[in-house]
Amino acid sequence: MQNLKASAAMQRSVLCSLQKPMQKTLFLTTRHASTPAFTPLSASLGHVSTPTRPQARLPMSVLSLTSVMRSYFIMSLSSRPLILAASTNLLRRSLEAKPLWLFDVDRNPLLRWLLRHTFYAQFCTGESPEQNRLCTEQLRQMGYSGVIMEYAKEVLDDTGDKIAAESVEEEEANVVAWRDGLLATIRICEKGDFVGLKWSGMGGAAHRLLKTNQPPSPFMVAAMTAVCDAATAAEVKLLPAAEPQNAQASVDAWTLRMSKTYNKMRPGYAVLYNTYQTYLKSTAATLAKHLDTADKQDFTLGIKLVRGAYLHSETRHLIWDTKEETDRSYDGLASDLILSRYGVSLKSMAGSSGQLPPINMMIASHNDASVRMVRRIRDEQLAQGRVLVPLVYAQLYGMADEVSCELLQKEESNEVTSTMETPKIFKCATWGSMKDCLNYLLRRAAENKDALERTRETRDAMRLEIWRRAKAVVGID
Ligand SMILES: Cc1cc2nc3c(=O)[nH]c(=O)nc-3n(C[C@H](O)[C@H](O)[C@H](O)COP(=O)(O)OP(=O)(O)OC[C@H]3O[C@@H](n4cnc5c(N)ncnc54)[C@H](O)[C@@H]3O)c2cc1C
């Protein structure tokens, strides 16, 4: 593995030396105009000039031409509301297989071919474990620190209401299938990787308990324990996903229940990361409560910070009214957490010690401005010799490659200077049969719709990259 990484780094250096300096700065625009709700260290702790970032190579030169062309094509489709609506409709019909054979990806070879070479190839990493392994191996070779492995087969659709009643035997069989699937996924991970999971994936019984705010059954606890034990032994981390609000309080409780045991086995090391959706008005208070619990019960809180994926199905008044408010919430919470402080966005609870417990963080975002803000704070912290909160960045496979590639470039440029942090970057690799991935693909389509501006920026970044490569081929600047 080390050899593969070394040879990839060498290939990249050779490539760089052959490439001309980039004439156009692709990533200077900030996506959200809101002022981040944090005080930059440079203001509060005396100004520290940020060292110039060396341009080791062009950020997107690590992407294959096929991948650049496909991203351009998919993002172009996704940035046109009418075409996106038609594609979403096609995916939804395929999921429902209505009318039967015409929209059934397993029975209509033309539909299967079309989806396989477009949306599926863009966002999923393979139908079989072997295809997934090859794809994730390529990601590691490109310089990613690791992957978030996610098996797409989910019991629930996102409306979450179509769960058929199950017999006790069926309930237990579902829990066993969930446990065995995750154990198999952990086995194909490398040390340091993450595994994405859903507690509701344990089936209808789990879903009912989650929705009625009850603890998991003893049989479920045994399965959850087996998964946490295996992850701990393999040094793989677990990411229970945030789910719609009618189940989220229980999702939090189930995750904290396991965190209390597994996140105190090694000081400052979290096996489980809970997911916090910053589009919810309540998230600052939820985080403060969980931080207080972790402080009092002496465990490390794992925090995966996302904006939130259920904008159109969630109870709307629970969510900030505007995108700008969600952006402020994300940036404010991220900066307080990184700075290990109760501050502008994160308020300590009455009776709390006022000190943050140890945390491990994942910045799960495609938003260039948020990612840059986090990097800037951490570079400043590093320059001041401060201890950094363990933190990784994560993006989904097929999404925001321009953001991921810029982080990868930063990782490589730090081979030249050690004054800036070397970021740890993960891609979320979702794999499974095409039918199992349809739900996931629908969510990606919805996300592209919610973030039309970002989809267009990815499209434009890909167009510039194609143009740059075309000019390089004919030898013009
Ligand atoms: C690795 C990874 C794991 C993820 N896991 C989960 C998960 O477990 N659960 C989950 O819910 N999501 C998850 N997401 C998706 C995430 O919540 C976002 O939907 C997605 O990343 C887009 O947000 P962004 O930070 O990339 O920024 P952007 O693309 O800039 O922001 C888009 C987001 O802003 C918010 N938004 C858009 N319009 C409005 C509006 N009018 N009012 C208020 N808010 C608005 C929405 O949350 C929308 O998704 C994950 C994302 C990643 C990268």
For a ligand 1 pocket test, name from 306, 397, 430, 453 the mutation site with the most ligand atoms within 8 angstroms of its C-beta: 306
Q: Side chain identity at 242, as an amino acid letter?
A: A
Global pTM value: 0.84
Q: Which of 66-75, 84-93, 167-176, 381-390 has the highest mean pLDDT?
A: 381-390
326 alpha carbon – ligand 1 mean position (Å): 9
Ligand 1 centre to CA of 404 (Å) is: 16
Residue 264 sits at φ, ψ, to 5 deg, of: -120, 10
Half-sphere exposure of 449 (CA within 13 A, CB side): 18
Residue with tokens 């019984």: 205
Do the beta carbons of residue 73 and residue 94 sit within 8 Å? Answer: no
- Is position 258 within any domain? yes
Q: What is the DSSP letter of 202?
A: G
In this predicted structure, what is the pLDDT of residue 80?
A: 82
Q: Considering the domain boundaries, does residue 81 fall inside one? A: no
pLDDT (average), residues 132-150 = 94
Task: Say yes or no: CB of residue 392 within 6 Å of ligand 1.
Answer: no
Q: What is the mean pLDDT of residues 434-452?
A: 80
Burial class (CB in 10 A: 0-12, 13-18, 19+), 125: buried
- Start-to-end Cα distance in the chain: 36
Q: Please identify, by atom number, the ligand 1 atom nearest to the C-alpha of residue 400.
A: 26
Q: Number of structural domains, the chain?
A: 1
pLDDT at 156: 41
Q: Is the CB of 454 under 6 A from ligand 1?
A: yes
pLDDT at 236: 98
Q: Tell whether the model's pLDDT for residue 299 goes beyond 70.
A: yes
From residue 393, alpha-carbon distances to 257, 396, 439 in Å are 25, 11, 24
Residue of 386 and 106 predicted with greater confidence: 386
Q: How far is the CA of 365 from the centre of ligand 1 (A)?
A: 7
Mean pLDDT for the stretch of residues 24-31:
34
**pLDDT at residue 40 in the model:** 40
Helix (H, G, I), strand (E, B) or coil at 6: helix
Domain annotation covers residue 290: yes
- With respect to residue 416, please indicate whether it lies within any of the assigned structural domains: yes
The residue ranges of DSSP E strands in 107-263, in sequence order, are 146-151, 194-197, 237-240
Using the predicted structure, report yes or no on whether residue 16 has a pLDDT greater than 60.
no
Neighbours of 117 (CB within 10 A): 11
Q: What is the CATH number of the domain that holds 213?
A: 3.20.20.220
Q: Would you say the CB of residue 41 lies under 6 angstroms from ligand 1?
A: no
Q: Is 211 in the pocket of ligand 1 (CB under 6 A)?
A: no
pLDDT digits (tens, 9 = 90+) for 397-439: 999 899 999 999 876 665 545 567 789 999 999 998 888 888 8
Q: Whose CA is nearest to atom 31 of ligand 1?
A: 451
Classify residue 454 as exposed, middle or buried by CB count within 10 Å of its CB (0-12, 13-18, 19+): buried
Distance CA 35, CA 331 (A): 9
Nearest CA to ligand 1 atom 3: 364
Preceding peptide of 99 cis, ω within 30°: yes
Position 449 scores a pLDDT of: 72
Q: List, as one string, the DSSP characters of 367-393.
A: -HHHHHHHHHHHHHHHHTTPPPPPEEE
Query: Is the minimum distance from the CB of 323 to ligand 1 under 6 angstroms?
Result: yes
Pocket test for ligand 1, best of 239, 251, 397, 450 (most atoms within 8 A of CB): 450
* Per-residue model confidence (pLDDT) at position 284: 97
- Decide: 395 in ligand 1 pocket, CB within 6 A: yes
Q: Is 244 in the pocket of ligand 1 (CB under 6 A)?
A: no
What's the CA-to-centroid distance between 306 and ligand 1, angstroms? 6
Q: Is the pLDDT of residue 125 over 80?
A: yes
pLDDT band of 4, cuts 50, 70, 90: very low
C-alpha to C-alpha distance for 19 and 276, rounded to whole angstroms: 41
Give the whole-angstrom CA distance, residue 263 versus residue 29: 38
Look up residue 418 and give its DSSP letter.
S
DSSP secondary structure string for all residues of 283-305? HHHHHHHHHHHHHHHT-PEEEEE
Find the mean pLDDT for residues 134-160. Answer: 80
pLDDT tens by residue, 253-282 = 999 999 999 999 999 999 999 999 999 999
**Per-residue pLDDT tens over the stretch 195-239:** 999 999 898 899 999 999 999 999 999 999 999 999 999 999 999
In this prediction, residue 93 has a pLDDT band, given cuts at 50, 70 and 90, of confident
Q: How far is the CA of 308 from the centre of ligand 1 (A)?
A: 4
What pLDDT was estimated at residue 29? 34
Say if ligand 1 is within 6 A of residue 310 CB: yes
SS3 237: strand
CA 407 → CA 3, 61, 151, 464, distances in Å?
Answer: 22, 13, 25, 18
Segments forming the whole domain that contains residue 415: 2-9+37-46+55-63+127-159+167-438
Structural domain contains residue 271: yes
- Report pLDDT digits (tens) over 350-363: 888 888 999 999 99
Query: Does the pLDDT value for residue 70 go beyond 50?
Result: yes
The CB density around residue 368, as the number of other CB atoms within 10 Å, is 23
Q: How confident is the model at residue 25 (pLDDT cuts 50, 70, 90)?
A: very low
The mean of the pLDDT values for the chain is: 83
Query: What percent of the chain is predicted at pLDDT more than 70?
Result: 82
pLDDT in tens, 326-342: 999 999 999 999 999 99
From the CB of 322, is ligand 1 less than 6 Å away? yes
Ramachandran assignment for 300, one of left (phi > 0), alpha (psi -120 to 50 degrees), beta (any other): beta
Evaluate: CB of 200 within 6 angstroms of ligand 1.
Answer: no
Place of tokens 């999921």: 95
Q: Hey, what are 8's tokens?
A: 């990839």
**Residue 277: partners with Cβ closer than 8 Å, 6 or more residues away:** 242, 248, 283, 306, 307, 308, 309
* Position 123 pLDDT exceeds 60: yes
Count of CB atoms within 10 A of residue 154's CB? 19
pLDDT recorded at residue 99: 58
If DSSP codes are grouped into helix, strand and coil, which group holds residue 277? Answer: strand
* Predicted confidence (pLDDT) at residue 17 exceeds the cutoff of 50: no
Distance CA 180, CA 187 (A): 11
Asked whether residue 389 is assigned to any structural domain, the reply reads: yes
Return the pLDDT at 5.
44
Within-domain flag for 367: yes
Residues ≥6 apart with Cβ < 8 Å to 129: 184, 188, 431
Q: What is the pLDDT of residue 28?
A: 30
Q: pLDDT confidence of 81, banded at 50, 70, 90? A: confident
Residue 58 pLDDT greater than 70, yes or no: yes
Mean pLDDT across 64-89: 85
- Is any ligand 1 atom within 6 A of the Cβ of residue 195? no
Residue identifier of the C-alpha nearest atom 29 of ligand 1: 451
Is 214 inside a domain boundary? Answer: yes
What is the mean predicted confidence (pLDDT) over 138-153?
A: 92
As beta bridge partners, residue 140 has none
Q: Whose CA is nearest to atom 23 of ligand 1?
A: 307
- Residue 262, C-beta contacts closer than 8 angstroms, at least 6 positions apart: 228, 231, 232, 271, 272
